[in-house]
Amino acid sequence: MINFFHNSNIFIWVEKLIAFINSIFFAVLLAALSFALIFSPPDYLQGDSVRIMYVHVPAAWISLASFTCIALLSILSFIFKIKNFTLVTKSIAPIGFVFTCIAIVTGSIWGQPTWGTFWAWDARITSMVLLGIFYFVFIAIHKLISKEETANKVACIVAILGLINIPIIKYSVEWWSTLHQPASIKIAGSSTIHSSMLMPLLLMFFTLILYCALIFLMKYKTEIIRIKKKNLYRKI
């Protein structure tokens, strides 16, 4: 394989991507916030409190997608010894953890006007808390275990265990009686959410994806520099 760390072009490409995202991010953010807070209608039952959805739902999507990527890349890294995948997972994990916390906190805030309580140990909330714990343990392993190979193996086990939790989060509302409603947005089949709310939601999701990409690239570049300085990896 190409020795990634000896390819000086990676820094140029990362800088270009960071500059590109910075050039469009604030315009996209302004558009997303305008649609979410001004142009989208209030819900006929929840009123304006439904606007929390525009942060809560994308944050939950990102947290699930991030851990899925971490788990799959950890498995591939463990099997094929592609150490660059480990670097990617270490860069994604803090982002996923933060968005998991955002999803939990915004869900709690949204729960008060919707359910009459800030917290309930239903299946989805509990499984999301478990996801946050898996994120925390995954990050802690790489921080506390100094031997790289051992840390990667233990982190891979944690990622695989955490991956089992992902479908539980997704289908918990169908498998058990929970306070959460069934999915309003469906890839296969018709969605029940109105387009006046769906478009701002997707726009906000795209905005947060851009933000995640920006943070990931900066974290990824920092990790590359750190590893090059320590001369830990010889080839990817």
Give the pLDDT of residue 4: 45
Helix (H, G, I), strand (E, B) or coil at 22: helix
Distance between CA atoms of 47 and 108, rounded to whole angstroms? Answer: 17
> Are 65 and 115 a contacting pair, CB within 8 Å?
no
The angle that helices 83-115 and 195-230 make with each other, rounded to 10 degrees, is: 150
pLDDT of residue 28: 96
Please choose, from the candidates 233, 83, 55, the residue with its C-alpha nearest in 3D space to the C-alpha of residue 153: 83
Using only C-alpha atoms, the chain has a radius of gyration, in whole angstroms, of 20
| CA distances for 192 relative to 119, 171, 184, angstroms | 26, 17, 5
Q: What is the pLDDT along the chain (236 residues), one digit of tens a residue?
A: 344 444 456 777 888 899 999 999 999 999 999 999 999 998 877 888 889 999 999 999 999 999 999 999 999 988 888 878 888 999 999 999 999 999 999 999 998 888 888 888 888 899 999 999 999 999 999 999 988 889 989 999 999 999 999 999 988 887 877 777 777 776 666 777 888 899 999 999 999 999 999 999 999 888 878 777 776 545 44
d(CA 128, CA 40): 28
84, exposed or middle or buried, with CB in 10 Å at 0-12, 13-18, 19+? Answer: buried
Residue 188: predicted pLDDT: 62
**Full-model pTM:** 0.88
Cβ(40)–Cβ(124) below 8 Å = no
Question: DSSP string of 110-145?
Answer: HHHHHHSSS----HHHHHHHHHHHHHHHHHHHHHH-
Structure-token match 């990676």, residue found:
10
The domain defined by 9-41+48-183+191-230 carries CATH number 1.20.120 = yes
Q: What are the phi and psi torsion angles at 66 (to 5°)?
A: -65, -45
